[in-house]
């Protein structure tokens, strides 16, 4: 019986590992769209030089952006990477003024990053549905 329990625990651990990997791997573009529109765009419209539409870049350019993980501007603090702006630290810092950031406070960082990436790729310039979402 003890042997069976050990096998079961090992199997479950593997399953949990795989499932969390799978969840982080496949972004949900609809959730990414909410974050992009209600957090990214809101800041860009008000403070960071205007809107950036997903259709301004191709799929490859967006993937390259996330690969390089540089957000800018050039004189910005080094921590201002693409991943920083989906981090819990960032969401925590704006939760009092941004309802979407507050609502998504508990979403794992890597998952949210994949969601946003999925949205931008899904609606990129060379996608089937280019979006000029503000």
Partner 1 sequence: MKIPGSTIFHICRISLLFVLLSGSAYATTTADHTKFKQLQVHFNSGPDVTRTCIKCHTEAAKQIHKTKHWTWEFLNPQNKQRLGKKNIVNNFCITPKSNFDHCATCHVGYGWRDDTFDFSSEVNVDCLVCHDTTGDYLKSGDNAGHPKSTVDLAYIAQNVGKTSRDTCGACHFYGGGGNGVKHGDMDDSLAVPDRDLDVHMDAVGPDFTCSTCHKSIEHDVAGSRYMPDAKHTDDYHVHRRDYDEENNAHCRACHGNKPHKKADKSRLNHHANKIACQTCHIPEMSRGGIPTRMTWDWSTAGQLNEDGEPIERKVDGNLVYSSKRGTITYAENINPEYIWFNGKVRYQLLTEKVRYNDDGYVLVNEFEGSPYDGESRIWPVKVFRGVQPYDPVNQTLVVPHTTGSDKASYWKNFDWQKAVAAGMKSAGLPFSGEVDFVKTQMSWLINHMVTPGEGAVGCNECHSKNGRLKDIDGIYIPGRDADKTLDAYGWLIASMTLVGVILHGIGRIISYYWSKRK
| Per CB under 8 A, 15 contacts partner 1 | yes
Q: How far is CA 82 from CA 12, 40, 72, 113, 115, in A?
A: 33, 11, 9, 8, 13
* One residue of 71, 95, 103, 125 binding partner 1 per CB under 8 A: 103
Q: What's the min distance (Å) between Cβ of 111 and partner 1? A: 12
| Per CB under 8 A, 90 contacts partner 1 | no
| Per CB under 8 A, 25 contacts partner 1 | no
Distance CA 40, CA 48 (A): 10
Chain-centroid distance of CA 40 in Å reads 10
| Per CB under 8 A, 52 contacts partner 1 | no
How many residues form the binding site for partner 1 (CB under 8 A)?
Answer: 28
Distance CA 81, CA 68 (A): 9
* One residue of 27, 33, 85, 113 binding partner 1 per CB under 8 A: 33
Distance CA 82, CA 73 (A): 11
* One residue of 21, 59, 76, 99 binding partner 1 per CB under 8 A: 99
């Amino acid at each position: 019986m003890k042997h069976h329990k050990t096998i079961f625990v090992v199997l479950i651990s593997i399953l949990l590992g795989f499932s969390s990997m799978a969840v982080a791997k496949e972004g949900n573009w609809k959730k990414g769209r909410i974050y992009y529109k209600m957090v990214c765009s809101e800041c860009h419209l008000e403070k960071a030089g205007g809107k950036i539409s997903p259709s301004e870049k191709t799929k490859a350019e967006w993937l390259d952006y996330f690969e390089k993980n540089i957000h800018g501007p050039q004189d910005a603090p080094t921590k201002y990477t693409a991943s920083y702006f989906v981090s819990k630290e960032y969401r925590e810092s704006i939760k009092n003024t941004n309802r979407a950031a507050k609502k998504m406070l508990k979403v794992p960082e890597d998952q949210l990053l994949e969601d946003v990436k999925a949205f931008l790729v899904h609606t990129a310039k060379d996608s089937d549905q280019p979006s000029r979402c503000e």
